[in-house]
């Protein structure tokens, strides 16, 4: 579904290279975790896939369903079915969650030849999805993110994902700042959304959300490259041993 090939990325402004040849293939039905130390390039990778303007791809390609998306704008990528959780976390006072999401939903539906929903139909649809993450119906009437707590913002991201039903979702640090109950709720929501015809990429510094979501593939990003890939056991090893053994193999504990 998504194929990242030898991706090199610089900061547009000053030309600093951040991603130094990333290769990654994500198929439908898979859950991937991208882990790694702070500053290794995890968020940059998510943003570049989303089409963030601050970055320039200097080498390599990103293919979505076999076609390069490098020339597409962020919204065009979203219409294809790519979802990046941080695309909508800004506060939009005066615009309700419901209206923003219905607009996004209908734009994507139109693009993909699906039926658009009128306000009442959308409300019913959205309420079903609210259940997934145990949020109250009033939540969709509030202005987007205005005054949301950290936990509510994270839940809202998963709610948006549930509503938009993307083909592939990148969730960047969705677990950070959540207490244990919120973490379980969010993880449970993600587990219910993940199915055979979509893919989820969890970008996370910590292993803890992986106690509740079992990834099919775990990758460690170090200094702009995928230094190691494995299965869930790799996440457990990282939890026990940290990242040092990958950064300085000579001093790794066995």
CB nearer ligand ADP, residue 54 or residue 146: 54
The burial of 79, by beta-carbon neighbours within 10 Å (0-12 exposed, 13-18 middle, 19 or more buried), is given as middle
Q: Which is nearer to Mg ion, 197 or 248 (CB)?
A: 197
**For residues 25-64, which are near ligand ADP according to CB under 6 A?**
36, 38-44, 54
> Footprint of Mg ion on residues 194-223 (CB under 5 A)?
195, 197-198
11 part of the interface to ligand ADP, by CB under 6 A: yes
C-alpha distance from residue 12 to each of 15, 16, 53 (Å) = 6, 8, 8
Cβ atoms 33, 94 nearer than 8 A: no
**Cβ-based nearer residue to Mg ion, 43 or 185:** 43
Q: Report the residue number, 36 or 215, with the smaller CB distance to ligand ADP.
A: 36
What's the angle, vertex CA 43, arms to CA 82 and CA 104, rounded to 5? 30
The listed partner (ligand ADP, Mg ion, none) that binds 85, CB under 5 to 8 Å by sort, is none
Interatomic CA distance for residues 222 and 166, integer angstroms: 28
218 binds, among ligand ADP, Mg ion, none (CB under 5 to 8 A by kind): none
Q: Are 138 and 98 in contact (CB under 8 A)?
A: no
Give the x-and-dash track for 68-87 against ligand ADP (CB under 6 A).
--------------------
End-to-end CA distance of the chain, in Å?
Answer: 36
Least distance from C-beta 247 to ligand ADP, angstroms? 13
Q: How far apart are CA 20 and CA 23, in angstroms?
A: 10
* Residues binding ligand ADP: number (CB under 6 A): 12
Task: Pick between residue 81 and residue 215 the one whose CB is nearest to ligand ADP.
Answer: 215
Cα 165 to Cα 24, 42, 83: the distances in Å are 22, 23, 9
Applying CB under 6 A, which residues contact ligand ADP?
Answer: 11, 16, 18, 36, 38-44, 54
Applying CB under 5 A, which residues contact Mg ion?
Answer: 42-43, 195, 197-198
């Amino acid at each position: 579904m998504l194929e990242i090939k030898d991706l090199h990325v610089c900061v547009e402004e000053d030309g600093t290279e951040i991603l130094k040849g990333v290769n990654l293939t994500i198929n439908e039905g898979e859950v991937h975790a991208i882990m790694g130390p702070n500053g290794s390039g995890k968020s940059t990778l998510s943003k570049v896939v989303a089409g963030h303007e601050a970055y320039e791809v200097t080498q390599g390609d990103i293919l979505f369903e076999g076609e390069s998306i490098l020339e597409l704008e962020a919204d065009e990528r979203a219409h294809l079915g790519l979802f990046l959780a941080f695309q909508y976390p800004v506060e939009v006072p005066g615009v309700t969650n419901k209206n923003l999401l219905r607009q996004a939903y209908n734009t994507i539906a139109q693009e993909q030849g699906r039926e658009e929903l009128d306000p009442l139909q959308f409300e019913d649809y959205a309420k079903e999805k609210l259940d997934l993450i145990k949020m109250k119906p009033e939540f969709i009437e509030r202005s987007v993110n205005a005054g949301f707590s950290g936990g509510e913002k994270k839940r809202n991201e998963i709610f948006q994902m549930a509503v938009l039903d993307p083909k592939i979702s990148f969730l960047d640090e969705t677990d950070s700042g959540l207490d244990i109950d919120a973490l379980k709720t969010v993880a449970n929501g993600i587990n219910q959304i993940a199915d055979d015809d979509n893919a989820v990429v969890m970008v996370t510094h910590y292993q803890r959300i992986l106690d509740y979501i079992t990834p099919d593939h775990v990758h460690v990003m170090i200094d702009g490259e995928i230094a190691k890939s494995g299965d869930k056991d790799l996440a457990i090893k990282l939890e026990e041993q940290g990242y040092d053994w990958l950064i300085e193999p000579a001093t790794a504990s066995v």
